[in-house]
Amino acid sequence: MEHDQAGAILLDLDGTLFDAGTAIPGAADAITQLRADGRVVRFLTNTDSRSSSSLLTMLKALELDVREGELFTPVVAATAYLGRADDAGVLLLVNDEVRGDLIETNRVVPHDRATEATHVVVGDIRRELDYHALDAAYRAVAAGAELIALHKGRYLKAADGGHLDTGAVVAAIEYASETRATVVGKPSRLFLQLAVASVPADLSMSDVWVVGDDRTTDVLMGEQAGAHTVAVRTGKYPDQTGRADYPDAEHVIDSVAGLPELLRTSLR
Domains recognised in the chain with CATH numbers: 3-46+186-266 (3.40.50.1000), 86-183 (3.40.50.1000)
Q: How crowded is residue 97: how many other Cβ atoms within 10 Å of its Cβ?
A: 14
CA distances from 113 to 54, 109, 136 (A): 31, 7, 8
Q: What confidence category does residue 22 fall into, taking pLDDT thresholds of 50, 70 and 90?
A: very high
Examine the pLDDT at 2 and tell me if it is beyond 60: no
CA dihedral in degrees (172, 116, 132, 94; nearest 10)?
70
Answer yes or no: is pLDDT of 25 > 60. yes
Q: 102 with 90: CB under 8 angstroms?
A: yes
Residue 22: in which H helix or E strand, if any?
strand 22-23
How far apart are the C-alpha atoms of 200 and 197, rounded to whole Å?
A: 8
The residue that leads in pLDDT, 76 or 158, is: 76
pLDDT, position 4: 39
The residues near 33 (Cβ < 8 Å, ≥ 6 apart) are 260
Q: Using CA atoms, how far apart are residues 66 and 51, in angstroms rounded to an integer? A: 14
What is d(CA 169, CA 229) in angstroms, rounded to the nearest whole number? 29
Determine the 3-state secondary structure of 61 from DSSP: helix
**Is the confidence at residue 267, as pLDDT, over 80?**
no
The model's pLDDT over 97-151, given as tens digits with 9 standing for 90+, comes to 999 989 988 899 999 999 999 999 999 998 889 999 999 999 999 999 999 999 9
CB atoms within 10 A of CB 162: 12
pLDDT of residue 155: 85
Confidence of residue 200 (pLDDT cuts 50, 70, 90): confident
- Which H helix or E strand runs over 163? strand 161-164
pLDDT for 1 equals: 36
pLDDT tens per residue, range 210-223 = 999 999 999 999 99
Total residue count of the chain as it appears in this document = 268
